[in-house]
Every structure is written in C-alpha cells, then in structure tokens.
Amino acid sequence: MSPLKTIDSKIVHPMDNLLRMERIPHIWCPSCGIGLAVTAFTAALEKAKIDLNKVAIVSGIGCTGRVAGYTKLDSFHTTHGRPIAFGTGIKIGNPEIKVVVFSGDGDLIAIGGNHFIHAARRNIDMLVVCVNNFIYAMTGGQVAPTTPLAAYATTSPYGCVEPPFNIPYLADSSGAVYVARWTTLHIRRLTNSITEALNKRGFSVVEVISPCGMYYSRINKLGDGLDMMKFYHDNAEIRHGEDTKNLGIGFQTKIIVGKFVDRERPTYMDSYNKWLSEIKTEEKLRK
Amino acid sequence: MKANPKDVNTGVYYIDGDVSSGYGALAAGCKFVGGYPITPSTEAFEAVCRRGPLVGAMFIQMEDELGSIASVVGASWAGVKSMTITSGPGFSLMMETIGFGAMLETPFVLLNIQRGGPSTGVPTKTGQADMMQSRWGSHGDYELIAISPDSPQEMFDYTIKAFNLAERYRCPVMIMSDECVGHMTEKVVIPPADEIEVEPRRFYDGPINEYLPFKPDEDLVPPMVKAGDGYKLYITGLIHDERGYSIKNEEYKFIYTKRLVDKIRLNKDKIIELKEEETDDAEVVVVSYGISSRVAVRGIEKAREKGIKVGSLRLVTVWPFPDEKIAELAKTIKAFVVPEINYGQIAFEVERCSHGEANVILVPHGGAGVHNPDDICDAIEYAAKEKKRIEGVIEYKTKLEKLVFEEGYKLHE
C-alpha cells in the first residue's frame, strides 16, 4: 500500500487574502448564518473590483459585531450601536474611503436605531450589511427589535408582545438609496446584491436573514440550522421592487426577499461640497 | 511644528470663550468637528461651523452626543485632528465612547463648557461639578488629561495645547471650561501662525507589514497610522495585544491596563501645568481652577490687605492631578482653601495629597453663579487663624448658604 500523500500546506484558500486567517477559528456557533454572510461579503469585495486598501469595515457589538475582526480590511470593532456614527466620522475624515458597516439587528436597529435613520436621511455614502437573526444572540437569546410577534426569547418567555421593525421599510422611508434583503440561503443573489451596493454611491442597506441555531431556533423549537435553511427554501419568495411596506416578517411566515429600492440622491458629501464651492465663490466675490 | 497660516485668523478680537476655543481648535489644525447643540457650548460649535469650511475643516451636527463622539473617534482614525463640543447632559451621554477613545488610544479633544447639574440643572448658568466625571466617568481603568482655562484668551491658547497633548500622548483630552468662561467676552489676541506651536500626529514610518498599532515607543505611546493607507488595521474596544487582536488572559489585561495608565502617570511632569503665586512664605494657599480662580484673585487680594500671607496655586492641568506639588506645599503651610462650584470634588483630591499635614477648607458653591470673593477671603482668614489640625475636608459656610438656610430664603419672592 502506498503511503498517504502529504498535503501541501501552502494551498491557499481563495478567500485567505480577505480574512485574518490567524484569528480563525471564529467564535460563531455551528448552524449560525453569519459566516455565510461574510462569505458573500468577501466574494462581493472581489467581484466589486474596488481598492481594498480604501475599504473600512466597522462593526458594533454582538455576534455580527465580530465580523470586522475577521476581515482583512481596515477593521473597527466599536461600541454598541455606534458603528454608523463612527463610520460617518471616517467617511467625512477621509471621503476616499468606502465605509462598510457590518453589524446585527440589535446593534443597528435598537441601540443604534437613531444613527441608522439619520445616516439614511443624510445619505452618507456607506454600505450597511445588517445580519438579522431575530434575537440578541451574543448575550444568550434576548428579545430583539426584530423578534417576530409571539416568538419566544429569554426575555419574552411568554411570547414577544412587541411588533418588530421592518428593516427595509425603515431604511426606505428614511431615505436609503439601495435596499435589498436576502436570506443566507440565497448566497449567490446576496453576493450580487452586496457587489452592487458596494459600487452604489449613498446609503445602501442589505438585510441578511440568518439562522441562529443556538438561541432563536432552539427556544422556538424550529430545529437546527439545516431546518432553518429548508424553511428559507420553502418560504422565501423573491419579489424585486416590492413595496417595502409589505416586507414585515411574522413568526414563521413567508419571507419576501429581493431588491426593493435602487435610486439616486445626492450624498452628504455631494451636497456639502456643492454648498462649499458656492460659499467659496461668494468669498471670492466679496474680495 | 508651526501652525499652518491658513488655519490661523491672526488679529485682536473681542470674543467670548466659546468662540475663542473654536478658533483655537482650527488654529491647532483641527479638521473635523462632530457636535450636537447644547447650551452653553453652542457658540463654540457655531464658530467652527462658520469658519471651519473656509480652512478646510469639516463639521457635522450629529443626531445626538452618542453619535457626535463616535464620529469624532472615527474621524481621528481616518487621520484628521478632531474635536467635539458639549456640556453636562451631553458629556454624560458621551462617557462610554470616551472610554472607547482611551482604550483605542485615539487622540481627540472634548470641550466641556460646564453648566449647573445634575440632570438638566441650570443650562444657562455655570457649574464646575463635572470634574470628577471627567476623570472617572467611563467604566474601567484609564487615564486622560483635563485642562481648565479661566479666560477667553486661555480658551484659545489651551485649546491648542489640548490638541498638542492629545497627539503627543495619543489620548482624549478634555477642556473642562465652564459657562462663565465660555460666555465671558474679553480681548483675545490671536498670534501669527509662526508663533503657534502645533504637535503633528506621530505617524508610523516603518515597513507596512511590520506595523503594530499598539506597540509603544519608549515613552509608552505607540505611533499611529490612519485608515485607507493599506495597513489593514484591526482596532477593537476589547483588551488587545500589540497587533490590536483581542486577548482575554489575566496577565495581558494587567500589562495593557498598566501601560494605559502609566502612559499618562509616568509622563505627568511633562503634562502638568500649574500657575503658582507667592507660595514661598505663604501660610494659606488657595487651590483653584477655571472661573473660580478668577474670582479667587479678588478674595486673595482682600486677605492680603488684612496682612495674611496667602499664595495661590492654579490648576491649569487638573488631570493628571499634581499630587507631589500639593504634598510639598502641605509641609510648609497651615491650610489650603479650595473654592469650587460644586460640593467638593478637587478639595478631596487636595486633602488626599496633603497627607494630613495641612487643613483643607472647601468653599463650596451650588452653581448657577460664582463665589462671592468675600467668602474666599473669610475662608482664608479662618484658615490662617485655625491652630488645630482638623481631619478631613472642612466645609466653609458661605454667605449665600447662611442666607438660604439660616435667615430663611423665601422661594417665591
């Protein structure tokens, strides 16, 4: 019998140059969807053909908050709820940088909700990837602003009594120029959406519905990660251009995915610079 | 390095402390201001918004103070000198991210025009009750620098100094001013750019793949890089090693925390600035800062007219605290008199550092006004007469307090 072939340790994974391999293994649980969202993101970075030295990724706190720490870009792991505000500072401090905020639903929509709507209103040139797993997972499964009505969480032990936020509707009505939603099952479409959004100027939001096998599925008895993927397969419906009003998600109801908003609006820096060039001319006139 | 002439509006002005501080920030090379309007600091923010764009400084009015301070830390990592401007309630909201800034060793300046608190307090009137908050407000162990100017001219000068210290030590620097100084209008001389010393950011200049964002130089301060230059930084609010990677073990937590505090503590002598007057043969020394030091001048004068040997120690730098200086003075004098617009914050620091060698008399003030110089004079007189060594901080009863609590103050009149 011939000896086993030695494995060439220099084999490089195509995503290695985009990840901090020295930090792997990551902290995410088996069946978690965040890894898939990161896969889609890194694939999109390559497809979008943008200068990776000019991309800053900003995360907040939570499971998705750890994404910045695994991607090999200028990565910032900030305080809870503040990645959009932090990213606004980076963008204005150096407008050449493409800012990507990669964080969870609790971080962006609850504690950071105010920054989310105001950055959308200002149309800060920024891509927000919001991983929505319907729960606060890092802290052990508490109710989130996205937890569907009647779903269980450790702090809604008798079922969630608060209606959840419809993230695409919130983004759309606040002024985002690009809004899409996919589940972690739609990995190719998600990659395409992120690629498109990376090249879009203005406040773009991509919501990623992701399974949380450890908390959300367990406490609601929905099976493991694979069962959640099957659920997405059977219940996700692609409806591009759907009115964002109709995108609310109930407990185990149909999830409408697709690209809903793609429009043009002057960004914050566009307006600022236009206004600035006008006052500068005025200054000259006065002289 | 000298200031950029474009940034400096050289001339003689009659402006208030807020505006002066705004001009100081721009002269220091500040290129980003993230703010949120709050009385009594708005004039400073407005001044930067008006003049900033003409010298290439960006500003943004964020949706709240949580956002403004986060944007300032972000902009600093994008490579520009940045600042935020606030007062009491806003200052409280910023606390978490101030600690984040200290943890990431981010240079930025925070201008706090203190007002009466707690809560909404007296928005339009003065206070000095945020002094301890500026030192201990955010959770965890860290050290930072706080300075307290007492005139519009100093608001200009010390705002520049604040930026220089922030860049020099890679840490947040607080300008702990107050409503009186902020709204006081006086002559301010803005010198030509070549007379203004500004500290450039200490950028790393070695090979790109050898850069370690938290590897300190000999003075315990690490050089910095900025986002967008290909360094692929990883910056986290978690305890991190020299690479910036999070690390949880006890030993490393110790190493990191120690450096974070030692960076300031061991450089104390270079950071602290004090203004000392006639302390050589003094029997009483008045320790004061901010607006209280302006009021104390008159009190001290009056006491001297009565023949009391009284000196003055003005804390321009409040944090780090001048422990050694206080201890040294305590050995030669009878007592310290500490007038401050609060119920005892810095007075307790003075007591801690005097090691029981001198009495410490607090002249408190509830806020919404400044001390009556007579109170300071009376406290000095009492301090000079008191032969006993009294433990703890002695709270001096001011005229206002007597009026309110002993003679009966009618609320509705």
Tell me if A56 and B227 make a contact (CB, 8 A cut-off).
yes
What is the band of A175 on the pLDDT scale with cuts at 50, 70, 90? very high
Domain B5-195 has CATH 3.40.50.10540: no
Tell me if B66 and A82 make a contact (CB, 8 A cut-off).
yes
> B51 vs chain A: nearest CA distance in angstroms?
11
Amino acid (1-letter code) at residue A164: P
User: What distance lies between CA B325 and its chain's CA centroid?
Assistant: 18
Question: Within 10 A of B205 (CB to CB), how many other CB atoms are there?
Answer: 8
> A222 vs chain B: nearest CA distance in angstroms?
33
What residues of B are in contact with residue A58 (Cβ under 8 Å)? 74
Residue A283 is predicted with a pLDDT of 62
When CB atoms are compared, the residue of A20, A82, A92 closest to B234 is A20
When CB atoms are compared, the residue of B77, B79, B231 closest to A76 is B77
State pTM to two decimals: 0.95
- Tell me if A83 is assigned to some domain: yes
Instruction: Report whether pLDDT(B150) > 80.
Output: yes
Quote the domain boundaries for residue A123: 16-286
Instruction: Report whether pLDDT(A36) > 90.
Output: yes
User: What distance lies between CA B144 and its chain's CA centroid?
Assistant: 9
B296 Cβ neighbours under 8 A, 6+ residues apart: B286, B288, B312, B339, B371, B373, B376
- Tell me if A128 is assigned to some domain: yes
Q: End-to-end alpha-carbon separation of chain B, Å?
A: 58
Q: Which of A24, A88, A174, A278 to mutate to test the interface with B (most CBs of B within 10 A)?
A: A88
Largest Cα separation within chain B, whole Å, is: 73
Residue A212's CATH number: 3.40.50.970
Residue A284 is predicted with a pLDDT of 57
Residue A192 is predicted with a pLDDT of 98
> A110 vs chain B: nearest CA distance in angstroms?
14
Residue A107 is predicted with a pLDDT of 97
Q: pLDDT of A212-254, one tens digit each?
A: 999 999 999 999 889 999 999 999 999 999 999 999 999 999 9
What is the band of B140 on the pLDDT scale with cuts at 50, 70, 90? very high
Amino acid (1-letter code) at residue B201: R
> A229 vs chain B: nearest CA distance in angstroms?
32
Q: How far apart are CA A33 and CA B243, in angstroms?
A: 28
Q: Does A141 touch chain B (CB under 8 A)?
A: no
Q: pLDDT of B10-42, one tens digit each?
A: 999 999 999 999 999 999 999 999 999 999 999
Tell me if A92 and B97 make a contact (CB, 8 A cut-off).
no
Q: Percent of chain B, pLDDT > 70?
A: 99
Q: Does B64 touch chain A (CB under 8 A)?
A: yes
Tell me if B67 and A88 make a contact (CB, 8 A cut-off).
yes
Residue A8 is predicted with a pLDDT of 62
What residues of B are in contact with residue A93 (Cβ under 8 Å)? 31-32, 58, 74-80, 82
Do B376 and B398 contact (CB within 8 A), yes or no?
A: no
Q: Which of A19, A55, A67, A77 to mutate to test the interface with B (most CBs of B within 10 A)?
A: A77
What is the band of A275 on the pLDDT scale with cuts at 50, 70, 90? confident
DSSP string, B113-148: EEEE-STT-EEEEE--TTHHHHHH-SSSS---EEE-
Strands B108-116 vs B82-86: parallel, antiparallel or unpaired: parallel
Domain tally for chain A? 1
What is the band of B291 on the pLDDT scale with cuts at 50, 70, 90? very high
What residues of A are in contact with residue B236 (Cβ under 8 Å)? 68-69, 76-77
Instruction: Report whether pLDDT(B373) > 70.
Output: yes
Report, in this order, helix, strand and coil percent for chain A, each rounded to 5: 40, 20, 40
Do B66 and B25 contact (CB within 8 A), yes or no?
A: no
When CB atoms are compared, the residue of B53, B229, B238 closest to A53 is B229
Q: Does A283 touch chain B (CB under 8 A)?
A: yes
Q: Percent of chain A, pLDDT > 90?
A: 87
DSSP β-bridge partners for residue A129 = A102, A206
Residue A276 is predicted with a pLDDT of 84
Q: Does B226 touch chain A (CB under 8 A)?
A: yes
Tell me if A75 and B63 make a contact (CB, 8 A cut-off).
no
**Cα–Cα distances in Å, from A40 out to A182, A185, A195, B163?**
11, 11, 9, 42
Question: Within 10 A of A188 (CB to CB), how many other CB atoms are there?
Answer: 10
Angle CA B274–B278–B282, to nearest 5: 110
> B380 phi and psi, to 5 degrees?
-65, -45
> A17 vs chain B: nearest CA distance in angstroms?
11
Q: Does B68 touch chain A (CB under 8 A)?
A: yes
Strands B359-363 vs B335-339: parallel, antiparallel or unpaired: parallel
- Tell me if A7 is assigned to some domain: no
Q: pLDDT of B109-118, one tens digit each?
A: 999 999 998 9
When CB atoms are compared, the residue of B53, B66, B82 closest to A85 is B66
Q: State both tokens at A244.
A: 């964002």
Q: Does A115 touch chain B (CB under 8 A)?
A: yes
Largest Cα separation within chain A, whole Å, is: 91
Q: Which of B54, B71, B212, B242 to mutate to test the interface with A (most CBs of A within 10 A)?
A: B71
ipTM of the complex: 0.95
Q: pLDDT of B238-250, one tens digit each?
A: 999 999 998 888 9
Tell me if A88 and B71 make a contact (CB, 8 A cut-off).
yes
Residue B115 is predicted with a pLDDT of 96
Strands of B46-169, DSSP E: 58-61, 82-86, 108-116, 122-126, 145-147
The residue ranges of every structural domain in chain B are 5-195, 272-405
Q: pLDDT of A8-19, one tens digit each?
A: 666 777 888 899
Tell me if A96 and B228 make a contact (CB, 8 A cut-off).
yes
Which CATH topology does B272-405 take? Rossmann fold (3.40.50)
Q: pLDDT of B294-319, one tens digit each?
A: 999 999 999 999 999 999 999 999 99
Residue B248 is predicted with a pLDDT of 86
When CB atoms are compared, the residue of A23, A82, A97 closest to B228 is A97
Q: State both tokens at B350.
A: 């003075």
Q: Does B71 touch chain A (CB under 8 A)?
A: yes
Give the mean model confidence (pLDDT) for residues B381-401. 93
Contact map slice: B 99-138 vs A, CB within 8 A? 100
